Every structure is written in C-alpha cells, then in structure tokens.
Structure 1
Amino acid sequence: MSTDYQRARQDLGRRLRELRVESPDGRLTGTELAHRLGWTQSKVSKLENGRQTPTVDDLRAWADATGHPAAFGELRARLRGFESQIRSWRRQLAAGHRPVQDSWNAVIFESRTVHEWENSLVPGFLQTADYARAIFVGHSALQHSPPDMEDAVRARVKRQEWLYRPGKRLNLLVWEGALWTRVCPADVLAAQLDRLIGVVGMDTVRLGIVPLDAKLSLNPANAFCILDDRLVAVEDWHAELWLDDAETIALYRRVWDTFAESAVFGAEAQQVIARVRRSLKV
C-alpha cells in the first residue's frame, strides 16, 4: 500500500477519534461507540488507527452515533480524496467485470494519446475475444467476482474502436515474456499472436517489443498506462492506482521512455512475435 494512501487513511482515523472524544453527549469510549453502532470494538479501533478503510455507510453511522451528523460531508470528502487514487478491486468488481470495463473505456475514449507498458500479458487494447475471456475467467475466480464473462469480453473488445478514430495514438511496449504467458490454450494464444503481428504498421499504433535478451536499464516491473499527460493507471493484485499528479506522471513517462530504448519496432518486432508463434506448433 502506498505511503500517501496509508497516511491519508491514518489522518481520517484521527479525525474519527476526535469526533468520538468530542461527542456532545460527553466523551465516548471505543467500547461505548461500538455498542451504539452494533460493531465490534476491534472495528472501531482499526478505523481510528488507519488499519481499515471505512465505507461511506460506516462514516455516516459514525457521524450520527458520535453526535456530529454535519461532519459526514467532510468525512465522505476525505474518503473520496484517497480512494480516487487507490481503487480496490473488491469494490470495483462487486457488480462484475463489465462495469469496470465500461468505466475504463469511458476514460480511454476521452484520451488522444496513450503510452502503455505491459510485462505479463497481451494488453487489453489488442486482445482477441478468446484471449480476453481466458483472462476474465482467471481473475473472476481469484476475486470471487460475478462471472459476467461475455459482457466483460464485449466491453473490452469495444475499446479497440478507439484505434480507428481520427487523432488517436497508441504507443505500446510489451515485454517478450508477456507473449509466452500461457494463460489460455495454445490455439487461442496463437490467434492472439497473429493479431499482434497484423497490428504492426497500423497508423494509430506504435508497437514495440522488448526482447528477453535485450539489455535493460530498469527491471521489467509492473504494467502501467499513461493517458495523455493527465493520468497514470497502475494495476496491482489488490487494487488499481489512479495517479494524476504531474511529478508522478513524469516519472512513469521516463520509465516508458527507458523501456522504449530497449525495444524493437516494425519488422524486428514482427520477427520476435513470429518466433514465439512458431514455438506453439498449432
């Protein structure tokens, strides 16, 4: 978890404690507040010490129970402030993968230029329907999310319409290791690699492959996507980070530029993809 996120959660916890201690009915103990709310005392303690993220309903209940209903707006604003950066998969996927894909598509379609680095999978922008389906099946099982595979696949494939709109530009770097990742049957992967080979040379796409034997100045760490100069999205197992401060965006752009120095493009990129494709023997 990021330091900034944890600090914001701890600050919110201190504010919650202030409201409890300064209750108009007199100072409440944690045990007394837990009894009023019907919670365990450990939940009150975790929220006050920044070890658990409250829900909006938690904050409303806390404000009312401590006698400070007018403080709810402030508490909700604090929560929104740091949740805009750390977007929990548990919460995002509560209604399935389709809503997440729709939301991401809306952000993408507002963008003109995308710089993406992918180190483990073929990027969603260029996934075939069968490849995307395999990804969603695996992540649905991991996150225990509703199995809305077909709706999610259609939403992800719809994103590719962006590539055919005037003025759009996708600058994509993929580590060769991502091409070898067997997250789907061999025939599905073969078709996916054929799709990548066909993308090389598109007017709106600049696809670079970083070969496994390329000299790297940085380790091929987590994937990320930069939208114009306004947002960086970074995926982790527990959450998706949306980062919009200029310094962080500039940092990720330097990372992308560094990987680009090790990448091959055009015919050389096609040769790397084709080499992996031949290994499948399907």
Structure 2
Amino acid sequence: MTDELAEDRERFGERMRALREAAGISGRALARRLGWSQSKVSTIERGRKVPLGPDIRAWCQATGMPLVESDLCAVAANLRTEIHHEQDRLRSEAITAAKPLKGTTERPLQHVREKGQVITAQKPR
C-alpha cells in the first residue's frame, strides 16, 4: 500500500475517533452500543479497516452526529476504490514478475504476499 493511501486511511480513522470522543463515549462503550467488539471500533479508528455505509450510519447515530454521515460514506467509498486499485496494481505486478522471460527455461516463480510485500521463491519440482 502506498504511504499516501495509508495516511488517508489513518486520517479517516482519526475522523471516526473524533466523533466518538466529541460525544464523550469510550471505545468500549461505543462497541457495546453498536453490538460490536471493541477491537472492531479500534480497527476502524486506527484506519486498518474502512467501514461500509451501514456501519458509518450506526456510528454517526450512536455518537449523535448524523449530519456527517453522507460525507463520511463518500470518503469511505473513495478510500475503498483506491484500496481496490492498489490491490489490482500489486496483483498485476506479481503476475508480471512471475512470467518467465522469453527464451528462458527457469521454473515458474511462486509469489506470496506477506505484510504488503511480495516474496518470490522457485516452485518445488
């Protein structure tokens, strides 16, 4: 993931946290109100997960901030689109790297994604 995309996700999470804090609600209390785990609230606030519209709507209602729902939904939709494009780009790069060069007899390469990095190894025979 690009640094810019990671920063955008973090900023979105910070906006969600700011709504909760402005309402004077702890993360644990918000999770209870919504019927979620506390880790889901934390994951959203840290920008590790971009919530879908229904979750944003519930968050805004629980924090008494329904007027920002449409803006947050639009930002989240844009983020999910960017994340999807980035995932497609990474997949494309991995496929391109796996194609053998014309005229070579090397075994096909196996690619494994680990923490956003592509690791390449020869497939066993």
Does residue 1:5 correspond to 2:5, yes or no?
yes
Is residue 2:34 matched to residue 1:57? Answer: no
How many angstroms does 1:12 deviate by?
A: 0.6
How far apart are the structure 1 equivalents of 2:41 and 2:57? 14
SS at match of 2:13: helix
Aligned residue identity for 1:37: L
TM-score, length-normalised on structure 1? Answer: 0.32
Counterpart residue number, 1:70:
67
Which residue matches 2:77?
A: 80
Identical pairs, percent: 35
Residue identity matched to 1:80: A
User: Could you state the TM-score of these two structures normalised by the residue count of structure 2?
Assistant: 0.67
Matched, 1:119 2:96: yes
Match of 1:34 in 2: 31
What is the distance in 2 between the residues matched to 1:16 and 1:46? 11
Secondary structure at the residue paired with 2:84? strand
Paired position in structure 1 for 2:14:
14
5+ unaligned residues in a row in structure 2: which ranges? 86-94, 105-112, 114-125
CA distance in 2: counterparts of 1:212 and 1:29, whole angstroms:
62
**Which AA in structure 1 matches 2:46?**
N
Aligned equivalents of 1:59, 1:17: Cα separation in 2: 12
Which has more radius of gyration?
A: 1
Structure 1, unaligned stretches of length 5 or more? Answer: 89-117, 122-174, 178-209, 214-236, 238-282
| CA RMSD of superposed structures (Å) | 2.6
The one-letter code of the counterpart of 2:77 is R
Segments of 4+ in structure 1 off by > 3 A? Answer: none
Tell me the distance in 2 between the aligned counterparts of 1:68 and 1:75. Answer: 11
Q: Which amino acid aligns with 2:26?
A: T
